Amino acid sequence: MDSRDSLWLEQLRDPDAPAARRALAKIITLLESTRPDHRERAGLLLDALLQRSGPTTRIGISGVPGVGKSTLIEALGLHAIAQGHRVAVLAVDPSSTVHGGSILGDKTRMERLSVHPRAYIRPSPSAGHLGGVASQTREALLACEGAGYDVILVETVGVGQSEVAVAGMTDLFVLMQLPNAGDELQAIKKGVMELADLIWVNKADVDPVATTRACAQMSGALRLQAGLRGGDAAQVQPISALKGDTLAQAWQGVQDWLAQRRADGRWLARRQRQNRDWMWERIHRGLRLAFEADPAVAQQLPDISRRVLAGELASSTAAARLLALHGVDASRLSPTPSSPAG
């Protein structure tokens, strides 16, 4: 390992020191790089950091712009720190390349948390497509855990696929809602409620009557949905970033939810499934990229695609020809029934 990298790992041993924060930032930047030498160093660093991780809690937090995510994450982060935790805040925002960082680009939105010595805030990477952003955030999450942060909050905006990605990298996925009926339909429409383990109805202090009504309506809708689809209904809770008691209740709700799932084995099963899925996702992605980068394939692909679209060439024949150009003899591959490729 590079002497710089060894130094960074050494500096991370004392997570309270400013040098540790700088080292973590540099490691995450390396993880986000697409340069081959950076990727190689990043892989070694990540392996080393993985060995240092203790028990951690990964919480995904989603909600449409204006729902009050930043304010709540700051309040919740400070609450968790007061309970003895170290808190890292990450984000998955595939639009950040377009807008130049729409969420967490500006740390001033979490003024108190961002300067706290036991908190680390990192804006969304801007790799330009969701797969890349999600993958980089997953690695940043592992790096933060290796650097001593034991509560990881991953923020995302309400744009469908990014929520699937965040639910797939966290132990618990929270959807934030406002106490009005329009939002409720909106969330069901986009299928986001199916992902949610907990639902927090925010700004509960502004209109307590509307909040109570919204909570009851959502609980009813979720129970109906859970009954139809099978599975647990997400719990609905009122919350307010400005009121310490609802915040403490929400944090306790998270702890209780996780404790139950740790006890019955579902917490571990979810992490193992995520680890396995991430590995295969990376493998399949690598195979596809290598295929598309193959000059022999790239040369023939436009013409073959055109003939397939026009119905002149069977899709299977086209695939076999392109695979052959890539050195894969499709006719010699006969899968076993147990193959995950089935």
Binders of a second copy in range 304-323 (CB under 8 A): 304-305, 308-309, 311-320, 322-323
- Residues near 280 by beta carbon (within 8 Å), at least 6 away in sequence: 340
- Regarding 299 and contact with a second copy (CB under 8 A), the answer is no
Sign of CA dihedral 136, 137, 141, 143: positive
| E-strand stretches of the chain | 57-63, 87-92, 119-121, 151-157, 172-177, 198-201, 235-238
Sign of CA dihedral 261, 264, 270, 276: positive
- Among 86, 122, 138, 203, indicate the residue that binds a second copy (CB under 8 A): 138
- Residues near 221 by beta carbon (within 8 Å), at least 6 away in sequence: 184, 188, 193
- Among 40, 106, 232, 256, indicate the residue that binds a second copy (CB under 8 A): 40
Phi, psi of 61, deg, nearest 5: -130, 120
Closer to a second copy by Cβ: residue 168 or 179: 168
What token pair was written down for 35? Answer: 């340069």
- Provide the 10 A C-beta neighbour count for residue 242: 14
- Regarding 296 and contact with a second copy (CB under 8 A), the answer is no
In the complex, minimum distance from the CB of residue 189 to a second copy, in angstroms, rounded to a whole number = 5
**Residue position matching structure tokens 């797969």:** 131
Closest CA to 179 of 222, 210, 220: 210
- Among 83, 252, 272, 299, indicate the residue that binds a second copy (CB under 8 A): 272
What token pair was written down for 43? Answer: 């892989």
- Among 1, 7, 50, 82, indicate the residue that binds a second copy (CB under 8 A): 50
Closer to a second copy by Cβ: residue 262 or 284: 284
- Regarding 188 and contact with a second copy (CB under 8 A), the answer is yes
Q: In which element (H, E) is residue 309 found?
A: helix 295-309
DSSP classification of residue 102:
S
In the complex, minimum distance from the CB of residue 2 to a second copy, in angstroms, rounded to a whole number = 15
Write the binding mask 139 to 158 for a second copy: x where contact by CB under 8 A, - elsewhere. Answer: x--x----------------
Closer to a second copy by Cβ: residue 209 or 228: 228
The partner residues of 92 in beta bridges, in order of sequence, read 156
In the complex, minimum distance from the CB of residue 272 to a second copy, in angstroms, rounded to a whole number = 5
- Regarding 54 and contact with a second copy (CB under 8 A), the answer is no
- Regarding 43 and contact with a second copy (CB under 8 A), the answer is yes
- Among 3, 189, 209, 302, indicate the residue that binds a second copy (CB under 8 A): 189
Of 75-83, 106-114, 130-138, 250-258: span binding a second copy (CB under 8 A): 130-138
Task: Identify residue 244 by its one-letter amino acid code.
Answer: G
- Among 114, 213, 242, 291, indicate the residue that binds a second copy (CB under 8 A): 291
Interatomic CA distance for residues 11 and 21, integer angstroms: 9
Write the binding mask 232 to 271 for a second copy: x where contact by CB under 8 A, - elsewhere. Answer: ---------------------------------------x
In the complex, minimum distance from the CB of residue 117 to a second copy, in angstroms, rounded to a whole number = 27
Burial zone of 88 (CB within 10 Å; 0-12 exposed, 13-18 middle, 19+ buried): buried
- Regarding 275 and contact with a second copy (CB under 8 A), the answer is yes
